[in-house]
Structure 1
Amino acid sequence: MSNVDLEKLIKDSVRSLKPYSIENIRSEVKLHANESPFPPTKELYDLFAASLKKFPLNRYPDPDSKNLKESIAKRLGTKVDHLVIGNGSDEIILLLLQVFCMEEDTIIIPDPTFAMYAIISQSLGIKTKNIPLNSNWDFNASLLLEAAEKNKSRLIFLSYPNNPTGNCFSEAEVRKVIEQFEGIVVLDEAYYDFSKKSFISEIKNHNNLVILRSFSKIGLAAMRVGFGVANPLIIQEINKVRLPYNSNMLSQSFAEHLVNNFQVVQKQIDFILKERGRLVDELEKINSITVFPTDSNFILFKTERSADELFTHLIYNGILVRNLSSHPKLHNCLRVTVGTINENDRFISEVKAYAMGDE
């Protein structure tokens, strides 16, 4: 019988990690994960079902996701050798860190931002330097660049729009970072479809720029498909550490159908944008609520009363949002994903009920 001291075998950088926290609470209305409230349309399901019959499921998938990359390249007006497909964009974050950073290196990230940049970095023994955002949830490029130089950083991650604040950073400040940083700038454009703001056209001018995109916000969260766009040399190096067959056959096919029939998805995006405006208007009518500007499919808001209490009230009434109030800069802040009309109506009704003390 073995009695190995397993704790001693675990890397220090992993032992000190806390798992990424996901609210896995049963609820009727899920407005916490920034997913689309709509499944793929029947049209897309039918296309997928027809192709499913042809899949040789006993065979490995295309290791290069060739058909999907060709569809994406055509839609973006880029070339296949500028693309890499990931098992979600999180995988590409991991691959970039593996390619460009050594243990004890330091990456630069704004604060607050997407938690996975720091979590994945720490798991690899890579440090993070957080640059606090100002009251408008923006950053000063000079301070960021100064920190990068001081820490001899090779990578800067910028979520654009930023999660969890929802806004796009100043275009001028982002451009300054891209132009002046002598390392890799990763712009995570997971929420691009709701902002239509992008630096993807700058890749031809800046060989240090990487753009990340995701299918998770536009209806395919369950399929876990993301992609990166970058200089071919960067893509070449990523492919050296990318695991073979990292994207399964079903995910590749469904994502390809979505790209080739994007007009169907665009109608859903347009609806989400319209509902986003309505949600903002309704929240702004509540005196105890402060709503922050958003370019995403979610809204960050602050309550004068306890965010923990409002969060609990919503759960009690079958509604799950994201409670961010444990972050020092997000005290009493909650994040709500734009849902269907009925979901949004229920959410607004319960927030108003709580604000009026009518519980």
Structure 2
Amino acid sequence: MSSVDLMGLIRDNVKALKAYQVENLDEGTKLHANENPYPPSSELLQKIFKRLDDFELNRYPDPDCRNLKQVIAKKTGAQPEQIVIGNGSDELIQYLMQVLCAEGDTIAFPDPTFAMYGITAQCLGLTPTSFSLNDKWDFEAQPALEVLSRQNARIVFISYPNNPTGNCFSEQAIQQVIEQFEGIVVLDEAYHDFAGRSFLKQMEKHNNLVILRSLSKIGLAGLRIGFGIFPGILAEQINKVRLPYNSNTLSQWVATELLNDFNYVQNQIDSIIEERDRLTKELSKLSFINAYPSNSNFILFKVPEGGKKLFNELKENGTLLRNLDSHPRLKDCLRVTVGTKEENDLFLKQITSL
């Protein structure tokens, strides 16, 4: 009988981590994960059912995702060879660090922001560092550049719009970072469909810029499709570490169909934006809440001295939000995903009656 010290074999930096956990509800109103609350079109679902017999599920998927890359190239203006498909954009974040950083190297990001930048860096034995956002959840270029230079950062990740604060950072500040930072600037544009802003065209002028995007926020969270647009040289290197067949047959096909007929999704996006603005306005009327402006499909708000209590009460009543209280800068802050009008009305009714 073997009795190996398994914990002794695990890397110290991994043992020091806490698993990324997201609460969930089996039933109720899920306003915690920044998903599209509307299902895909009935036409797309019918196409999927009709094609099921044609999918050779006993065969591996297209390793190069050629059809999906072609439709992304058409939509974005990028070249297919610049595009890398990921099993969610999280996978691409990891690949960037693997390709560009050696153990002990530093990557940077604003604080607060998407937690996976720091978690992934720690998993790989890298050193995460950050520069603080101001009270308006924005940053100035010069202090940020000083941090990047002082820490000798290899990559800076900028979520645009930023998760979990919901806003777009100053375009001027980002532009300065792109122009002056002597490393890779990753603009994580997972929520760009709700903001109408992008730095994609800047790639023509700056070879240190990478754009990441996701289909999870606009309707395909269950299929985990992310993609990155890279300088050609960097895309070649990313493909050296990319796992073979990392995007499955169904995900590739559905994503291609969705992007080929985007009007239905665009109408959903327009509805979410309309509901976001209405929800922000209604939350701002409540004296016990501070709601922050959003360019995303979610809203950050603060309940001074009562965030955790409100989170638990809502959950007990079948509505799940994201509790951000564990972050020092987000004490008593909650994040609500914009749902359907009915879901948003229920949330507003609950929050005013609890």
TM-score (norm 2): 0.99
State the Cα deviation string for residues 219-248 of structure 1 (Å, max 9, x = none): 100000000011111110100000100000
Listed as ranges, the matches of 1:146-161 within 5 Å are: 146-161=146-161
Aligned to 1:24: 24
**Aligned partners of 2:86 and 2:353: how far apart in 1?**
43
Listed as ranges, the matches of 1:6-45 within 5 Å are: 6-45=6-45
SS at match of 2:139: coil
2:19 aligned partner, one-letter code: P
Aligned to 2:323: 323
**Aligned partners of 1:323 and 1:353: how far apart in 2?**
19
In the alignment, is residue 86 of structure 1 matched against residue 94 of structure 2?
Answer: no
Aligned to 2:173: 173
Aligned to 2:266: 266
Aligned to 1:3: 3
**Aligned partners of 2:328 and 2:348: how far apart in 1?**
26
Q: Runs of at least 4 residues of structure 1 off by over 3 A? A: none
How far has the Cα of 1:51 moved from its partner?
2.9
1:200 aligned partner, one-letter code: L
**Aligned partners of 2:57 and 2:156: how far apart in 1?**
39
**Aligned partners of 2:75 and 2:243: how far apart in 1?**
26
Listed as ranges, the matches of 1:50-89 within 5 Å are: 50-89=50-89
State the Cα deviation string for residues 227-272 of structure 1 (Å, max 9, x = none): 0011111110100000100000000000000100101100100110
**Aligned partners of 1:326 and 1:27: how far apart in 2?**
25
1:21 aligned partner, one-letter code: Q
How far has the Cα of 1:187 moved from its partner?
0.4
Aligned to 1:240: 240
1:279 aligned partner, one-letter code: L
Aligned to 1:136: 136
2:329 aligned partner, one-letter code: K
Listed as ranges, the matches of 1:330-345 within 5 Å are: 330-345=330-345
SS at match of 2:353: helix
State the Cα deviation string for residues 167-191 of structure 1 (Å, max 9, x = none): 0000000000011111100000000
State the Cα deviation string for residues 41-75 of structure 1 (Å, max 9, x = none): 10111222233322111110000000000011011
**Aligned partners of 2:27 and 2:59: how far apart in 1?**
38
Listed as ranges, the matches of 1:262-301 within 5 Å are: 262-301=262-301
SS at match of 1:218: helix
SS at match of 1:220: helix
State the Cα deviation string for residues 266-325 of structure 1 (Å, max 9, x = none): 010011011111101110110111110100000000112411110011011110000001
**Aligned partners of 2:68 and 2:34: how far apart in 1?**
24
SS at match of 1:154: strand
Aligned to 1:118: 118
Which range moves more in the overlay, 224-233 or 137-146? Answer: 137-146
2:72 aligned partner, one-letter code: I
8 Å contact 2:24–2:320 — kept in the other structure? no
Query: What's the Cα RMSD here?
Result: 0.9
How far has the Cα of 1:120 moved from its partner?
0.6
SS at match of 1:342: helix
Aligned to 1:357: none
1:85 aligned partner, one-letter code: I
**Aligned partners of 1:207 and 1:201: how far apart in 2?**
12
**Aligned partners of 1:255 and 1:86: how far apart in 2?**
12
1:210 aligned partner, one-letter code: V
Aligned to 2:350: 350
SS at match of 1:294: coil
Q: Paired residues, what number? A: 354
8 Å contact 2:103–2:124 — kept in the other structure? yes
2:118 aligned partner, one-letter code: A
8 Å contact 1:137–1:165 — kept in the other structure? yes
8 Å contact 1:27–1:319 — kept in the other structure? no
Q: Which runs of 5+ in 1 are unaligned?
A: 355-359
In the alignment, is residue 108 of structure 1 matched against residue 120 of structure 2?
Answer: no
**Aligned partners of 2:27 and 2:49: how far apart in 1?**
30
Q: Which runs of 5+ in 2 are unaligned?
A: none
